[in-house]
Amino acid sequence: MTGPNVLYVGLYGYGAVDYEERIINVYSFRSTYTAKGLSSSSSHFGGGAFVRWNTWGLTVDFQEGYFYKWKPSFADTTYTDTSFFQNIAVTLAHYRNPYSWTHVGFTVTARRFAFGYGIPFPDTSSEIVKNSENWPVPNSDVRYLSMGVSGRLYLEVENLYSEGRGFLPWVGGHVAWAQVSFQSDDPLGRTSGTANTIYFSASLGLDFYIAPWLGFFIEGGYTSFESNMLLSGINPGYKDYYDQVRAGYNNASVKAGIRLTWAKERY
């Protein structure tokens, strides 16, 4: 007698609070580089859908968030800004068995940061530019496309979780190769650059099911990447002082959400 075939279809949504440090600095290879980043506390929302047949599943996740004020690491000023990010990820996962949520998978992610609307850029006549000092780039856009391995390990024990109800603690991770691209507008000019880097994230969480079809979850996570890019298309007034850009991103977040799951067994 063969085992069961199980079909899962679900939707989920969540809200998150974030603390983010972002570095998008132009600098010159002729000068010493010291990261001058900006930090912000904010929130974002997200959601997604999944379908799974036995031990194989596909998940699509979308996130969007806005940042209104940045606190520089190099000044007392707080900049009002309209930065935002968008993220979409698709994961093909293999599960341990038809009833387990532990899995490993392959994830493709596209992310976009719009940045620096409201951050001043120094005039070329200032001492800052003459010394080729690093500076956050206004009116810039950073995008990346990553591909890599992801997974979650669930603690699935009967005294915590049984018959589709109870608690499911888990830990997760993601490591990926990413291609990063940069674009900016005036005053720096219609500048662009590309590079490759490594992206990683780590997370832990707790799922709580009050019924097999209705669950809630909370998770904490950390995400990071950094990349250096050579620039092209810089305005003449700046090209003697800046020839590279460093894009870095560190984010700590706490998410809480709800998950709806429909399951059907067939023997």
Concatenating the DSSP letter of every residue in 224-265 gives EEEEEEE-BS--HHHHTT--EEEEEEEEEEEEEEEEEEEEEE
Q: Which two tokens stand for residue 228?
A: 């250096």
Q: How much is the pLDDT for 243?
A: 83
Pick the CATH number of 20-262 from 1.20.1630, 1.10.3470, 2.40.128, 2.40.160: 2.40.128
- Per domain, the residue ranges of the chain are 20-262
Burial class (CB in 10 A: 0-12, 13-18, 19+), 135: buried
Instruction: Enumerate residues 6+ apart whose C-beta is below 8 A from 62.
Output: 46, 47, 48, 86, 87, 88
Match 């930065």 to its residue by tokens.
Answer: 83
Q: For residue 110, give the H/E element and its range.
A: strand 103-115
67 to 26, 35, 63, 113: CA distances (angstroms): 21, 20, 14, 11
23: nearest Cα among 225, 249, 251: 249
Instruction: Enumerate residues 6+ apart whose C-beta is below 8 A from 126.
Output: none
How many C-beta atoms lie closer than 10 Å to residue 107's C-beta? 21
Return d(Cα 47, Cα 44) in angstroms, integer.
Answer: 11
178 to 105, 114, 196: CA distances (angstroms): 17, 18, 6
How many C-beta atoms lie closer than 10 Å to residue 157's C-beta? 12
Q: 206 - beta bridge partners?
A: 169, 218
- For the chain, how many residues are written? 267
Mean pLDDT by 10 residues, the chain (267 residues): 81 92 77 68 90 96 80 66 84 95 96 72 63 71 92 91 90 95 82 90 96 96 89 80 83 95 87
Q: What is the pTM of this model?
A: 0.87
Return d(Cα 38, Cα 18) in angstroms, integer.
Answer: 14
Q: How much is the pLDDT for 75?
A: 63
User: Using an 8 Å Cβ cutoff, are 90 and 60 in contact?
Assistant: yes
Q: How much is the pLDDT for 148?
A: 96
Q: How much is the pLDDT for 1?
A: 44
Q: Which two tokens stand for residue 94?
A: 């293999």
Q: How much is the pLDDT for 197?
A: 92
243 to 24, 112, 208, 246: CA distances (angstroms): 13, 22, 51, 11
